[in-house]
Amino acid sequence: MLSTLDYSIVAIYAVALFLLAQWVSMEKGDHHKDASDYFLAGKSLPWWAIGASLIAANISAEQIIGMSGSGYAMGLAIASYEWMAALTLIIVGKYLLPIFLKRGIYTMPQFLEQRYDHRVRIVMAIFWLGVYIFVNLTSILWLGAQALHTVGGFDLMYGLIILGAFALAYSLYGGLKAVAFTDIIQVVLLVMGGVMIAYLMLDRVSEGAGIMAGFDILQQKAPEKFDMILSPDNEHYMSLPGISVLIGGMWIMNLSYWGFNQYIIQRALGAKSLQEAQKGIVFAAFLKMFMPIVVVLPGLALFVLNSDLSSPDQAYPTAMTMLPEGIKGLVFAALLAAIVSSLASMVNSISTLFTMDIHPSLNMKHIGGNPVITGRVVAIVAMVVAMLTAKPLLGSFDQAFQYIQEFTGFFTPGICVIFFLGMFWEKTTANGALIAAIGSAVLSFAFKMLLPELPFIDRVGIVFLSCVAIAVLISLRENRAQAGAVHLGDIDFSTTSGFNISAVAVGVMLVALYATWW
Gap between the Cα atoms of 212 and 293, Å rounded: 13
- 506, 87 in Cβ contact below 8 A? yes
Residue 216 identity: D
pLDDT grade, residue 326 (50/70/90)? confident
- 409, 249 in Cβ contact below 8 A? yes
Q: At what angle do helices 412-424 and 108-115 cross, to 10 degrees?
A: 50
Q: What sign results for the dihedral spanned by CA atoms 197, 198, 202, 208?
A: negative
Q: What is the pLDDT of residues 224-259, one digit of tens each?
A: 888 888 888 888 888 888 888 888 888 998 999 999
Q: What is the pLDDT of residue 29?
A: 62
pTM of the model: 0.87
User: Which letter, b or e, does each residue of 234-270 get, where b requires 16 or more Cβ atoms within 10 Å of its Cβ?
Assistant: bebbbbbbbebbeebbbbbbbbbbbbbbbbbbbbbbb
User: Which letter, b or e, does each residue of 321-337 get, where b requires 16 or more Cβ atoms within 10 Å of its Cβ?
Assistant: eebeeebbbbbbbbbbb
Q: At what angle do helices 262-269 and 108-115 cross, to 10 degrees?
A: 80
pLDDT grade, residue 20 (50/70/90)? confident
- 124, 108 in Cβ contact below 8 A? yes
CATH topology of domain 44-408: Sodium/glucose cotransporter (1.20.1730)
pLDDT grade, residue 281 (50/70/90)? very high
Q: First CA to last CA across the chain, in angstroms?
A: 40
Higher pLDDT, 151 or 80: 80
Q: What is the pLDDT of residues 381-418, one digit of tens each?
A: 999 999 998 888 766 555 555 567 667 778 899 999 99
CA angle 28, 57, 124 (to 5 degrees): 95
Q: State mean pLDDT over 27-38.
A: 68
Instruction: Indicate whether 456 pLDDT > 90.
Output: no
- 142, 69 in Cβ contact below 8 A? no
Q: Domain ranges for the chain, please list them.
A: 44-408, 409-486
Q: What is the pLDDT of residue 397?
A: 58
- 218, 49 in Cβ contact below 8 A? no
- 108, 356 in Cβ contact below 8 A? no
Q: Quick one: DSSP state of residue 314?
A: G
Higher pLDDT, 430 or 370: 430
- What is the four-CA torsion angle of 304, 306, 312, 318, rounded to 10 degrees? -110
| Close Cβ partners of 494 (under 8 Å, ≥ 6 residues apart) | none
Q: What is the pLDDT of residue 283?
A: 94
Report the number of secondary-structure helices (H) and strands (E) in the chain. Answer: 27, 0
Q: Is 45 helix (H, G, I), strand (E, B) or coil?
A: strand
Percent of the chain surpassing pLDDT 70:
94
Among 144-158, 200-214, 277-291, 326-340, the range of highest mean pLDDT: 277-291
Q: What is the pLDDT of residue 395?
A: 64
Q: What is the pLDDT of residue 403?
A: 64
Q: Strand pairing partners for 45?
A: 271
Q: What is the pLDDT of residues 147-163, one digit of tens each?
A: 788 777 788 888 889 99
Higher pLDDT, 319 or 493: 493
Q: What is the pLDDT of residues 183-194, one digit of tens each?
A: 888 888 888 888
Mean pLDDT of the chain: 86
Q: State mean pLDDT over 330-342.
A: 82
Q: What sign results for the dihedral spanned by CA atoms 307, 310, 316, 319?
A: negative
Q: State mean pLDDT over 60-88.
A: 85
Q: What is the pLDDT of residue 402?
A: 59
- 410, 75 in Cβ contact below 8 A? no
Q: What is the pLDDT of residue 177?
A: 78
Instruction: Indicate whether 87 pLDDT > 90.
Output: yes
